[in-house]
Amino acid sequence: MTKTAWVFPGQGSQAVGMGMDLLELPEAKARFQQADEILGWSVAEICQSDADKLSRTLYTQPSLYVVESILADLLKARGQQPDFVAGHSLGEYVALYTADVFDFETGLRLIKQRAELMDSASDGLMAALLGFDRDQLEQQLQQTPDVVLANDNNAGQVVISGKPTAVETVLGNVKAKRAVKLNVSGAFHSPLMAAAATEFQKALDGATFNLAQIPVLSNVDPIPATDAATLKDRLNRQMTGTVRWREISLRMPAEGIGRVVEVGPGKVLTGIIKRTCPELVLENVGSVAELPGNSGDE
């Protein structure tokens, strides 16, 4: 029988108006209200605000967590269940929630602190490269201090992160079809986040993690795991470590996964996975209309 993985997108997938159709459902509306009490601000208001405000790390990460976790709960309530879960950067928190590693409140409180720490990290630059020579890129990264591979999404799409001058140096020395500097506050998934990661470790230490009920493919280690201590350690390393999404994608067929459902706004992850594993069946659930039973899908 074909196995299914649910994957959860991270920062960059947010869109104005996301999750607003969920407010028509009583169970989802209650979850939005719970989130507002924890955060001290309205997720619904932020999701309906202008794109610049929604794209601020402080608001983006908690808002995506809330919307994606509600969609995951609605899928489960309709009898759906994944065999594996994975999430891209902050999406890993939703994956862990979906696997019952922690409850909704624990996850949101962790995301709130993570977002605050990352939002205040002002030193650094991130840039996406598309259509490049990987050997040339790896050589430049080895030769240039203070810049690392932050997101290894697929063979033709990566993100580098580090000190601005170092990132600029690599961009100047690597031929790419397209290079885009990202509008983020700091050098995420790089050693420049070490101070934030140390501070965040305190929050992780105080959070209760349980045995995962569904194997999790983690950003810093794509080998499926269910052990609570292992998953917590991987989550701490995630803030400074590379998002190894290309390896997660390759791991899926090796684990017998034939179907991948992206749970959340947009189609970023299914687009990335398609480049690496075109044989996988890819689906998207980003709204009430796309839930099984609403669109004729079972």
User: Is the Cβ–Cβ distance between 204 and 232 less than 8 Å?
Assistant: yes
User: Is the Cβ–Cβ distance between 244 and 86 less than 8 Å?
Assistant: no
Please, which residues bridge with residue 86 across strands? Answer: 7, 217
d(CA 57, CA 51): 12
d(CA 273, CA 250): 9
Distance of CA 15 to the CA centre of its chain: 15
Q: Where are the alpha helices (DSSP H) in the chain?
A: 26-39, 43-47, 51-54, 57-77, 91-98, 104-119, 134-143, 164-173, 194-205, 228-238, 245-254, 268-276
List own/partner pairs for 76-83 with CB under 8 A and 24 or more apart. Answer: 77/27, 78/291, 78/292, 78/293, 79/292, 80/292, 81/214, 82/4, 82/5, 82/6, 82/214, 82/261, 83/3, 83/4, 83/5, 83/214, 83/215, 83/257
User: Is the Cβ–Cβ distance between 271 and 15 less than 8 Å?
Assistant: no
- Identify the residue whose tokens are 């028509």: 24
Catalytic residue numbers read 89, 189
